[in-house]
Amino acid sequence: MTYYNPKKSAFADKEKGSASLTVAIIFGLFLLSVLYLAQANSIVAKNFQLRSAQAALEEKQDSNQKMMVALMQAKSMASLEGAAKNLNLVAVENVDYLKVSSEFFALLQQP
C-alpha cells in the first residue's frame, strides 16, 4: 500500500510566516497609533494644565503687585506725614541727653 504523505512545502511556510509578519506589523502599527494618540492626548492635557497654571500665576502675580503697590504707597513719606498729622504727632525739637558720669560707674563697682 502506498500512502501519500504530503510534505509541508517551503512555499506554504513562507506564506504562513509572511502572514504572521503582516499581523505583527499591523499590530505594531496599531500599538504605535494607540501610543501616539495617548501621548498626543497627554501633551494636549499637559499643555492645557500649563496654560491654566500660567494664568493662575499671572493672576497671583497681579494681586501680589497690587499689594506691593499699596504697601509702597502706605510707606511713602507723603502718606506717613498725613498719618502723623492725623495722629497729632509733633516733630522732635530739643532733645535732652542723659550724661553718665564716671562717679556713677565707680559707684557700681563698689561691693
Contact positions toward other proteins, by CB under 8 A?
43, 46-47, 50-51, 62, 65-66, 68-69, 72-73, 75-78, 81, 92-93, 95, 97, 99
Minimum CB distance to other proteins, residue 34 (Å): 19
Backbone angles phi, psi at 34, to 5 degrees: -65, -45
Q: What residues contact residue 73 under an 8 Å CB cut-off, 6+ apart?
A: 79
The span from the CA of 104 to the CA of 111, in Å, is: 14
Closer CB to other proteins, 77 or 108, in the complex: 77
Closer CB to other proteins, 4 or 104, in the complex: 104
Minimum CB distance to other proteins, residue 31 (Å): 22
HSE (side-chain half, CA atoms, 13 Å) at 83: 8
